[in-house]
């Protein structure tokens, strides 16, 4: 099942299966790389809850999501994504810090970056909070401009 949400960073497609969120896709919405979409289900309780929480996040009224998630990925990707969920709102960390946080050396930062880029549930799993060691905004699946807007939104909400 899926639904759409208009947001300050474009139209988001929220995808769910078995009462869990499996993906959030940025517009333009491309084929799902083999992920089943199912039917549009705007009134499904999970889709309503996801839209409500994302809307509250963009309105600077929500700092922590409470949604059931089921991102599809390797064991390593799952470890990275679990760590990302622990990065507080408004905080950024480097890829090397994420590597250390999951028990690896900073030399694993490239592998962390690849896992970060394959995060199927951006925003809720806040991969936008991971930046280069020098503070640069390195790649983002939704584009660096979206990453900057998300980071700006969180910084503005802190003051």
Angle at 147 between CA 85 and CA 28, to 5 degrees: 105
Is residue 118 helix, strand or coil?
coil
Annotated catalytic residue within 123, 127, 130, 131: 127
Cα–Cα distance list, 81 to 20, 27, 59, 126 (Å) = 16, 22, 24, 8
Please give the Cα distance from 118 to 14 (Å, whole number): 16
Residue 128 annotated in active site:
no
Angle at 36 between CA 32 and CA 40, to 5 degrees: 95
Q: Which residues are catalytic?
A: 127
């Amino acid at each position: 099942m899926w639904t759409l949400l208009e947001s300050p960073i474009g139209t988001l497609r929220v995808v769910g299966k078995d009462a869990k969120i499996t993906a959030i896709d940025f517009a333009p919405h491309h084929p799902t790389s083999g992920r089943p979409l199912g039917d549009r289900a705007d009134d499904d309780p999970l889709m309503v809850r996801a839209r409500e929480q994302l809307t509250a996040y963009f309105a600077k009224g929500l700092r922590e999501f409470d949604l059931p998630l089921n991102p599809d990925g390797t064991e390593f990707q799952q470890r990275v994504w679990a760590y990302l969920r622990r990065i507080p709102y408004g905080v950024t960390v480097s890829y090397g810090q994420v590597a250390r946080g999951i028990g690896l050396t900073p030399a694993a930062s490239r592998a962390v970056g690849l896992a970060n880029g394959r995060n199927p549930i951006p925003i809720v799993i806040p991969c936008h909070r991971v930046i280069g060691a020098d503070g640069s905004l390195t790649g983002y699946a939704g584009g660096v401009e979206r990453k900057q807007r998300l980071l700006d939104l969180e910084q503005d909400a802190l003051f």
